[in-house]
Amino acid sequence: MLETKGCQFKLGCEVQSVLPADNGTTMVCGDGFQETYNGCIMAVDAPTALKLLGNQATFEETRVLGAFQYATSDIFLHRDSTLMPQNKSAWSALNFLNSSKNNAFLTYWLNALQYIGKTSEPFFVTVNPDHTPKNTLLKWSTGHAIPSVAASKASLELGQIQGKRGIWFCGYDFNQDELKAGMDAAHGILGKHSSVLHSPKNMSPSFMETTARLFVTKFFQQYISMGCVTFLEEGGRIFTFKGNMEKCPLKTVLKVHNPQFYWRIMKEADIGLADAYIHGDFSFLDETEGLLNLFRILVANKENSAASGSNKRRTWWSPALLTASISSAKYFVKHLLRQNTITQARRNISRVVCAAMPSRRRTKSRELPRPIVEELVGLCINHGSGHFCFLFSTL
């Protein structure tokens, strides 16, 4: 694909040195070839980059790249089971063992890591064994960066040498670091600004919030029998509650930003969920349909529980979460104090309508006659609805 866009590839050409020129070009030298380019991307580790630059490396390049120290490891692909635990039932994908020199080494069991078909003997990869394994199929050496304060500081100062003299550096350690550095180098050559998203920190809930998370996740695991609800915490931890997707194929993902999300739900159940949303403790991955899908899933599961008879009619003393009983009782008392009954609703409607009427048409008691109020209430209130509203201009 790249060749169709005019890219040229030269394979089997080992580069031995990179020599920046005073005119801004870069000379790449190898065994039997020497070519000049407008720039160069060095996709190698820091020690190799300094080796290729040789005495042409500047003080800043030596200071920044020299801060990265690497440790070399010898790796063997083999079929020697003596480098695994003696008890075969203790075998796992990754196995740490002590060597005779009191050093630890690591053996990967490839058959457990990935499917490689049926084999007569298992395949292993061992890092830094104290002796060469039997039935060795391949050996190679690789280097890994040693974490240090100096290396962490140097990674932040890498921008000071990027693009200078037409040279960009990338290829640090793990694949994700190499990808990030490669994107920075590519954007630098194109003259574009690149911003790489940083991994959010893991949430650190308190003891009470951790307990609340345990209660809430256990409740959702039991309650969700249809559809799929996912909690995605900042830091990457995921809780998935999945039911029958045929009856309810809806899905929604809640991005949890604050562990108070769990505390509010445990304390006040459905009201706590609304309170957590108002306070920004969570948001939705799908900003358009996420909230609506959550409501649909919760309603579908409530109706399914009622139809199956597994969930009796809830009252203030038996909320969905027992931990919310105190808050439920508090709201129930407030409800009683408001006198939110049909009789009180008639009075409220009468007062609202009278307040909107011209003064000459108001009655002395500032309340409409009972037949008129009953007719209005009958239009708006029935046994299945507790909410009403009026739309009028003048009376």
Instruction: Look up residue 5 and give its DSSP letter.
Output: G
Same domain membership, residue 97 and residue 240: no
Q: What pLDDT is stored for residue 62 in this prediction? A: 93
Angle, to 10 degrees, between the axis of helix 260-278 and the axis of helix 207-223? 70
Structure tokens at 181: 């550095």
Q: Are residues 184 and 59 in the same domain?
A: yes
pLDDT at 373: 54
Q: Are 75 and 105 in contact (CB under 8 A)?
A: no
In a domain, 321, yes or no: no
Residue 255: predicted pLDDT = 93
167 and 183 part of one domain: yes
Last residue of a domain, one of 144, 162, 180: 144
Same domain, 34 and 54: yes
- How confident is the model at residue 379, as a pLDDT? 56
Return d(Cα 53, Cα 22) in angstroms, integer: 15
- Residue 359 is predicted with a pLDDT of 52
In a domain, 352, yes or no: no
Whether 108 and 129 share a structural domain: yes
Q: Is residue 281 part of a domain?
A: yes
Residue 368 lies in a domain: no
What are the DSSP calls for 266-305, one per residue? HHHHHHHHHHHHHTTSEEESSTTTHHHHHHHHHHHHHHHH
- Per residue in 268-316, pLDDT tens? 888 888 889 999 999 999 989 999 999 999 998 888 877 766 555 554 4
Are 185 and 236 contained in the same domain?
A: no
Dump pLDDT digits (tens) for 217-243.
Answer: 998 998 899 999 999 998 888 999 998
Range of the domain at 225: 205-306
Per-residue model confidence (pLDDT) at position 33: 81
279 domain-assigned? yes
Q: What does pLDDT average to in each consecutive run of 10 residues of the chain (395 residues)? A: 80 86 80 83 88 91 90 92 90 86 86 81 91 92 86 86 86 69 81 67 84 90 91 89 87 93 87 89 92 91 74 50 60 60 67 56 50 57 52 50
Question: Three-state DSSP class for 311?
Answer: coil
Contacts of 142 (CB under 8 A, 6+ apart): 72, 73, 75
| Residue 168 confidence (pLDDT) | 87
**Does some domain include residue 224?**
yes
Q: Are residues 220 and 281 in the same domain?
A: yes
Q: Residue 136 phi/psi, 5° resolution?
A: -75, 130
Specify the pLDDT at position 59: 93
Determine how β-strand 228-233 pairs with β-strand 251-256.
parallel
Is the domain of 215 the same as that of 180? no
What is the domain count for the chain? 3
Q: According to the model, what pLDDT value does residue 186 have?
A: 83
Alpha helices in 191-228 (DSSP H): 207-223
Per-residue model confidence (pLDDT) at position 326: 61
> In this structure, what DSSP letter does residue 196 have?
P
Q: Choose the final residue of a domain: 258, 287, 306.
A: 306
Cα separation, 38 vs 142, whole angstroms: 31
Residues 174 and 300 in one domain: no
Helix 260-278 / helix 325-338 crossing angle, nearest 10 deg? 30
Q: 295: which residues sit within 8 A by CB, 6+ positions away?
A: none
Domain finish residue from 144, 162, 178 = 144
Residue 382's Cβ-count burial label (10 Å; 0-12, 13-18, 19+) is exposed
Same domain, 245 and 136: no
- Do 8 and 133 lie in one domain? The reply is no
Asked if residue 337 is part of any domain, the answer here is no
Considering the domain boundaries, does residue 340 fall inside one? no
Q: Please tell me whether residues 157 and 52 are part of one structural domain.
A: yes
Q: Exposed/middle/buried for 226, CB within 10 Å: 0-12, 13-18, 19+?
A: buried
Transcribe 89-114 into DSSP letters: GG--SEEEEE-TTS-EEEEEEHHHHS
